[in-house]
Amino acid sequence: MKERLRKIWKWTKRIFLILFIAQFVYIVLLKWINPPITITQLVSWVTGHGLKRDYVDASEMSPNARLAVIASEDQLFADHNGFDWKSIQKAMDYNEKKPGRMRGGSTISQQVAKNVFLWQGRSFIRKGLEAYFTFMIELIWGKRAHSGNVPECN
C-alpha cells in the first residue's frame, strides 16, 4: 500500500511539473503572438455560438482610441502591478451592501488573464487562478503586451 501511494505521489508531482512548465512556456510565447484560441472562445464554439475573433493590430488603431479604452476600463493601469486594491475593496464593500447587484473591481490585466487562460463565471477557484495568471502576465509580458503599446502605459 505504501509503495502504491509513493507511485501515485510521484506521478502527481510529475504531472504538476509538466503542467507548470507547459503553462509557463505558453505564457512566454503569448508575449509575442496572439493566442490561437482562448478558453472563452472554445466554450463559445462548443456551445454553438461560433468562433469569432477580430484581432486588430495596434498600429491600425489611433493611439488616442487605445488610451481612451484603457482609461475607461482601468484608470490606474499604468500605475498598478495587475491589481487595483482600492477598486477591489470598493467592489467588495458595494457587493456586501447590495448583495443582489454585483460590481467588479477587475483591472485590464485581470480581465486579460480571465479571458485568455480561464473560463467565465464566478468562483473562488477561478479567482485564485486569475490572480496567479495576472501576476504571471504582469511579470512576463509587462504593460506593453496588453496595452497596445500606448506610450503612457509603458
Task: Please name the fold of domain 34-153.
Answer: Penicillin binding protein transpeptidase fold (1.10.3810)
The residues spanned by each domain of the chain are: 1-30, 34-153
**CA dihedral sign, ordered 104, 109, 111, 113:** negative
Would you say how long the chain is, in residues? 154
Q: How far apart are CA 38 and CA 40, in angstroms?
A: 5
Q: How far apart are CA 70 and CA 54, in angstroms?
A: 18
What's the pLDDT tens digit per position in 96-118?
Answer: 888 777 777 788 899 999 989 99
3-class DSSP state of 139: helix
In this prediction, residue 151 carries a pLDDT of 43
In this prediction, residue 148 carries a pLDDT of 54
Q: How far apart are CA 26 and CA 35, in angstroms?
A: 9
What's the pLDDT tens digit per position in 21-34?
Answer: 999 999 999 998 88
Residue 72 — pLDDT band, cuts 50, 70, 90? confident
DSSP 73-105: H-TTTTTSSS--HHHHHHHHHHHHH-TTS----
